[in-house]
Amino acid sequence: MPHYAAKGGYNLITVLLLWLGHAGTSDEAGHAAEQHQDQHRDLGLGDVVIVIQSQRNSFHVRVAEERKQEILHQSSELGQEAPLVVLLHDISPYDGVWSIIPAFPLLSAAYGRSARWFVFTEEGTRVSLPALKLLLLKYQPSEEWFLGKRLRDHDASIIHHYAFSEEPSGFGFPDPAAGWAVSAPLLQRLARRIKHERLKSDFTIDLKHEIALYIWEEGKGPQLTAVPELCVEPKDNCATTFTTYLPDCGEPVSKKDVVVAVKTCQKFHLDRVPVVKATWAKDAEYLEYYSDVQDDSIPTITLGVPNTDSGHCGKTFAIMKRFLNEAVPNAAWLVIVDDDTLISLPRLRHLLSCYDPNEAVVLGERYGYGLLQNGYSYITGGGGKCRCVFRIVLSRVAVTRLMSSGCSCFRDDAPDDMVLGRCFTSLGIPVTHSPLFHQARPDDYPETLVSVQRAVSFHKHWNVDPITVFKHWLEDTRQKDEL
């Protein structure tokens, strides 16, 4: 029996040794079992490394540092040895460590010999150290374990490339808000594996699912063991809980400080643009529609860049250039979306109050390319004809630095999201991730995940009524100015 199929953290051999010891049939076997059990029972918080998945933006650094100090203060009050708390962005100057897999060798080299467990948490995850210790005591740290709050796809999902299409609910992956844990032997083996094996894809898309796939290794490694003690919402015996996906940083950013650019084309003037106007456009102080043709009934603006079938780099750079001239208000933030994006602008303004507009901020749903080979991160979304390739939020400072850098499209139909990602990486501007932005429809995500998020955006009208989706998932019943 594989150790990860054993229940309660003990494998069959250990159980047999314990039974033989109690039966008195073998003093040697009983002594070995007692030593094994004592080693397991002696697990202390000092044997645990807690990795907070921090980001380089100043707001996220501050939140992660606060969470670290909470954990250290808690251990001090308990009078116990503190766990080692590591901020992910601190372990390497390379920004790609956010994708975790490149961080495994670094964590193994630094802490692999002294630690027994590695626990990964979000910046908003709160940890109860006594409950965490009790949880980890249930599992033998000398074996390979992968623990977490289990998420699953009820239907084959495009964001997971329709993996396990015959039985998508059979594969579990961790909810990062609840935290997840791996035993030291598993992390060490993964670290060795990375040095000798390329990833199957150069793209990092949905981190939590891809980590689970990498650990599972097509059945050669452990699947996720679901544990009720890793929680999002508070309940009895929780080792972790999550604070909020939409932090409260004070008054929302003013409507006047946000310029919204909607990218469209003639093909979608009659079906997608009316949805924008019927749902979220009314929450924008200043919004412009950019198309390949001028249509005064909308109205649209043409930028002298022809529409392309794939990649819209030229159009995106033209929008950013316009944002910096006197044609639009001197706002602090630029939001670029495509015409089949559904977005809550009140929630976005609430979120933006956490960020310093005097910093270069690039915000959205983050992907990665070639992150094991010094690649780059970028803000992503959908693809296809007439569409932009992302929902991205940029501070004026970020746009100014980009446009003055000389970094540009190598052709008008280049993939704008990846070109921008490469440019920002070269400028040392971090790409900041928020799980509140979604590249697909609500049905493409686990309901237990999206139902607690208060999402900022979803994407695509395919096989859904977009107005119903907006009203159910994004429209708030409270007064919008309260958000």
Q: Give the C-alpha separation, 307 to 413, whole Å.
A: 8
Closest C-alpha to 359, from 393, 336, 325: 393
Which pLDDT score, from 0 to 100, does residue 166 have?
81
* Residue 7, amino acid: K
| pLDDT, average across residues 239-247 | 94
pLDDT(384) > 90: no
Count Cβ atoms within 10 A of the Cβ of residue 427 and give its class: 0-12 exposed, 13-18 middle, 19 or more buried: middle
Closest C-alpha to 438, from 455, 454, 458, 452: 458
Q: Give the C-alpha separation, 417 to 195, whole Å.
A: 29
Q: Token digits for 171?
A: 């594969």
- What is the distance, to the nearest Å, from the Cα of residue 45 to the centroid of all Cα atoms in its chain? 27
Which pLDDT score, from 0 to 100, does residue 381 have?
52
pLDDT(54) > 90: yes
| pLDDT, average across residues 14-43 | 42
| pLDDT, average across residues 92-116 | 96
- Check residues 460 and 15 and name the one with the higher pLDDT: 460
Which pLDDT score, from 0 to 100, does residue 4 have?
39
Indicate the average pLDDT of the chain: 88
pLDDT tens for each residue of 291-332? 999 999 999 999 988 777 777 899 999 999 999 998 999 999
pLDDT tens for each residue of 139-167? 999 999 999 999 998 888 878 887 887 88
pLDDT(385) > 60: no
Residues of the chain above pLDDT 90, percent: 76
Which pLDDT score, from 0 to 100, does residue 479 have?
46
Which pLDDT score, from 0 to 100, does residue 421 have?
96
Q: Give the C-alpha separation, 98 to 210, whole Å.
A: 13
pLDDT(336) > 90: yes
DSSP 360-402: --EEE-EEEESGGGT-EEEE----STT--S--EEEEHHHHHHH
Contact 178, 125 (CB under 8 A): yes
51 contacts: CB under 8 Å, gap ≥ 6: 86, 88, 103, 107, 118, 119, 120, 121
Which pLDDT score, from 0 to 100, does residue 478 have?
55
Rg for the chain (alpha carbons), in Å? 25
Which pLDDT score, from 0 to 100, does residue 248 have?
94
